[in-house]
């Protein structure tokens, strides 16, 4: 019985909601030991980052719809598909680099070193 309960709890942690992955930014930055001023500034940066990610997801869905339309046509132009994919990558890169530049400006050299070890958590996908 305990194994079943553990299995169900584990399954619920990895379950998708409405067929889409849950995107949350509940990143714990306590390991950076931010000062009060840094915490306040980071809150603003994270708030904007969340807004940007939401916009990115909506943009990405529109591009996926456009790709589907291209694939339904009689002939497919590879260049058109490449441009759509590049648009997604470019927008993700802009959001990510803007966020990282803002964080860099706030963090001390020691904090930057710790933050850099966890970069994969902040990749825009």
User: pLDDT tens-digit profile of 35-88?
Assistant: 999 999 999 999 999 999 999 999 999 999 999 999 999 999 899 999 999 999
pTM of structure:
0.71
Asked if 24 contacts 103 with a C-beta cutoff of 8 angstroms, the reply is no
- Smallest Cα–Cα separation from 96: which of 123, 67, 66? 123
Confidence category of residue 29, pLDDT binned at 50, 70, 90: confident
**Helix 78-106 to helix 36-72 angle, to the nearest 10 degrees?**
180
Angstrom distance (rounded) from CA 122 to CA 107: 16
> Which residues, other chains included, contact 112 with Cβ-Cβ below 8 Å and sequence gap of 6+?
104
Burial grade of 48 (CB within 10 A; 0-12, 13-18, 19 or more):
middle
Give the per-residue pLDDT at 68.
93
**Position 30 confidence tier, pLDDT thresholds 50, 70, 90:** confident
Compute the radius of gyration of the chain from its Cα atoms. 19
Cβ neighbours, 10 Å, residue 95: 19
């Amino acid at each position: 019985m305990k194994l079943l309960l553990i299995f169900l709890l584990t399954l619920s942690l990895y379950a998708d909601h409405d067929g889409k992955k849950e995107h949350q930014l509940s990143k714990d930055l306590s390991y950076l030991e931010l000062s009060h001023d840094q915490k306040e500034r980071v809150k603003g940066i994270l708030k904007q980052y969340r807004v940007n990610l939401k916009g990115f997801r909506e943009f990405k869905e529109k591009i996926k719809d456009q790709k589907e339309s291209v694939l339904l046509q009689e002939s497919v132009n590879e260049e058109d598909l490449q441009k759509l994919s590049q648009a997604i990558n470019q927008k993700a890169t802009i959001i990510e680099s803007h966020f990282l530049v803002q964080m860099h400006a706030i963090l001390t050299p020691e904090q930057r070193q710790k933050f850099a070890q966890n970069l994969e958590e902040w990749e825009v996908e």
